[in-house]
């Protein structure tokens, strides 16, 4: 089928799965959760992340997933970026946030461990890290990233805008 730039009626609305995650900083450390037994990433450390629920804003989903998987309450600082994930039709949106409250405590369902790790601790670890999450955290901890902050004067307020 030729791509004319027009939407095909049989393809609307589009099918897209949106995953969100947040790099949460506490000083010079980033929050990781280790994926629990039975999870597709079993035994690997990753940032807290998951799917956006129906009707949920992606940034709220990232805050919720962080709290659910790690017990940490975080505040969002801005958008790090988006990534087309390896599975066709899956999109990742990654935010940057900072620690507000709580101690890293895994939920025991999706995560079996939770911890703040420094670059040195990551380097010394014999554990496995999910490669994409490790790459993102290393970029943040070494200052090789940009953040698009939330725009306060958005006419769609209280919806958040990252422009």
Q: If pLDDT is split at 50, 70 and 90, which confidence band does 3 have?
A: very low
Name the burial class of residue 66, with classes exposed (0-12), middle (13-18) and buried (19+) by CB atoms within 10 angstroms of its CB: buried
Domains plus CATH for the chain? 15-141 (3.90.79.10)
Mind spelling out the 3-state secondary structure of 132-147?
HHHHHHHHHHCCCCCC
- Per the structure block, which two tokens stand in for 150? 């939330």
Share of the chain above pLDDT 90, in %: 77
Tens digit of pLDDT for each residue in 54-68? 899 999 999 999 999
Q: Which residues neighbour 109 within 8 Å (Cβ) at sequence distance 6 or greater?
A: 36
Write down the pLDDT at residue 13.
56
Tens digit of pLDDT for each residue in 4-41? 445 455 655 567 899 999 999 999 999 999 999 998 89
β-strands 90-101, 44-46 pairing:
unpaired
Tens digit of pLDDT for each residue in 86-102? 988 999 999 999 999 99
Q: Which residues neighbour 99 within 8 Å (Cβ) at sequence distance 6 or greater?
A: 24, 25, 26, 31, 72, 73, 74, 116
Mean pLDDT of the region 66-89: 95
Write down the pLDDT at residue 10.
60
pTM of the predicted structure, to 2 decimals:
0.89
Write down the pLDDT at residue 150.
87
Contact 63, 76 (CB under 8 A): yes
Average pLDDT, the chain: 91
């Amino acid at each position: 089928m030729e791509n004319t730039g027009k939407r095909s009626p049989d393809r609307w609305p589009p099918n897209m799965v949106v995953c969100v995650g947040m790099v949460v900083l506490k000083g010079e450390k980033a929050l990781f959760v280790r994926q629990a037994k039975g999870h597709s990433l079993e035994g690997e450390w990753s940032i807290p992340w998951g799917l956006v629920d129906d009707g949920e804003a992606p940034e709220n989903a990232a805050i919720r997933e962080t709290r659910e998987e790690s017990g940490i309450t975080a505040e969002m600082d801005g958008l790090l970026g988006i990534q087309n994930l390896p599975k066709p039709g899956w999109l990742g949106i990654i935010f940057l946030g900072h620690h507000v409250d709580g101690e890293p405590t895994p939920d025991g369902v999706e995560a079996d461990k939770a911890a703040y790790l420094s670059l040195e601790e990551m380097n010394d670890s014999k554990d496995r890290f999910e490669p994409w999450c490790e790459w993102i955290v290393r970029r943040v901890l070494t200052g090789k990233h940009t953040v698009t902050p939330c725009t306060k004067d958005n006419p769609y307020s209280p919806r958040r805008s990252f422009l």
